[in-house]
């Protein structure tokens, strides 16, 4: 049997009836993006048991039936981005136990994340919740996602994350919390050990980072903290991050502890070689090349870690 993709994108489809896909159970990909769907009724994809990719991006969906995705037992990727979805019944996702690739729900109207929301997706690896209205993550909010690898929750309204939110998600490598309202000093409450290599905290309201802020992030390589009201960051905060190679920042003072020091390479224009490295904290802050790098590029490379 040959398996086929099908595209119905950029039409004026506003309703899908049960049985609409009868006789097409050999589809592997279905693209319904850019239509006018408002409601996803129950069992409308029931016969598509070979489908691995379903794209519903950029419709007008606000209601998803409890059994809207029943029968999609082979689905790997589901795109529900750019809709008006406020809540997603976990029973709708429950049949998709093989959905181990990607769930895109960015640009919706979600306001909270609860423990049961992703209960049916134990193999999910990539989850995008950017550009929603999320103000609350419940206790153990992501605990149903034990193999989650990438989590994006930028451009929401989060002010805190409960201590148990990631307690069953030790495999996250990319965590994007940018463009939220995290304020004061940061407490991530991440499982230890964890595998996070990229952490994005830019454009929040963080005004303090302490020497223990990043404890447990032993695999961290890339850290973004631009556009926070940070006046000074202690170098001790980075001393245990043996894998850290780059920090994106817009603050202009690093409370350093030499010989652990800071240098940068701004698109090849400024290269702070070893003989140019300052030998004091004051020298680090007044170094002309470092200052220009920090001002123009907004990022710092850490070298010669103690």
What is the predicted pLDDT for the residue at 115?
Answer: 83
What is the predicted pLDDT for the residue at 121?
Answer: 86
282's CB contacts (< 8 A; 6+ apart) are none
pTM of the model: 0.83
Beta-bridge mates of residue 39? 63
pLDDT in tens, 132-188: 999 999 888 898 899 999 999 999 999 988 878 888 888 999 999 999 999 887 766
50's CB contacts (< 8 A; 6+ apart) are 3, 25, 26, 27, 28, 74
Is residue 33's pLDDT more than 60?
Answer: yes
245's CB contacts (< 8 A; 6+ apart) are 221, 222, 301, 302
Range 191-200 average pLDDT: 84
pLDDT band for position 25 (cuts 50, 70, 90):
confident
pLDDT band for position 2 (cuts 50, 70, 90):
very low
Q: What residue has token string 């750019």?
A: 82
Q: What is the per-residue DSSP string for 218-245?
A: TT--EEE--SS--S-EEGGGGTT-TT--
pLDDT in tens, 75-126: 899 999 999 999 877 788 876 666 668 999 999 999 999 888 888 788 899 9
Average pLDDT score over the chain: 79
What is the predicted pLDDT for the residue at 274?
Answer: 41
Range 125-130 average pLDDT: 96
**Burial class for 17, CB neighbours closer than 10 Å (0-12, 13-18, 19+):** exposed
Is residue 251's pLDDT more than 70?
Answer: no
Residue 260 DSSP code: S
> How is the chain split into domains, by residue range?
252-306
Is residue 40's pLDDT more than 80?
Answer: yes
Check: CB of residue 61 under 8 Å from CB of residue 35: no
Which tokens sit at 156?
A: 């929401």
């Amino acid at each position: 049997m040959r398996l086929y993709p099908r595209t119905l994108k950029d039409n004026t489809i506003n309703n899908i009836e049960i049985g609409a896909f009868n006789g097409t159970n050999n589809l592997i990909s279905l693209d319904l993006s850019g239509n006018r769907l408002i409601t996803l009724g129950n069992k409308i994809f029931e016969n598509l048991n070979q489908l691995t990719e379903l794209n519903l991006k950029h419709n007008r969906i606000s209601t998803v039936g409890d059994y809207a995705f029943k029968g999609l037992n082979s689905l790997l990727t589901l795109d529900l981005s750019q809709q008006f979805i406020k809540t997603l019944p976990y029973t709708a996702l429950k049949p998709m136990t093989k959905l181990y690739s990607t769930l895109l729900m960015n640009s919706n109207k979600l306001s909270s994340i609860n423990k049961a929301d992703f209960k049916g997706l134990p193999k999910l690896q990539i989850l995008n919740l950017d550009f929603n209205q999320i103000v609350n993550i419940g206790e153990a909010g992501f605990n149903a996602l034990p193999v989650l690898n990438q989590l994006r929750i930028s451009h929401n309204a989060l002010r805190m994350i409960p201590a148990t939110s990631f307690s069953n998600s030790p495999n996250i490598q990319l965590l994007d919390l940018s463009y939220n309202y995290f304020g004061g000093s940061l407490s991530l409450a991440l499982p230890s050990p964890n595998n996070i290599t990229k952490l994005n905290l830019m454009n929040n309201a963080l005004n303090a980072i302490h020497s223990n802020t990043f404890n447990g992030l032993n695999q961290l390589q890339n850290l973004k903290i631009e556009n926070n009201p940070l006046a000074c960051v202690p170098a001790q905060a980075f001393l245990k991050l043996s894998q850290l190679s780059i920090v994106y920042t817009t603050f202009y003072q690093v409370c350093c502890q030499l010989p652990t020091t800071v240098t940068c390479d701004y698109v090849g224009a400024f290269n702070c070689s070893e003989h140019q490295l300052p030998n004091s904290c004051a020298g680090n802050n007044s170094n002309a090349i470092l200052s220009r790098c920090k001002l123009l590029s907004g990022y710092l490379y850490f070298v010669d870690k103690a």
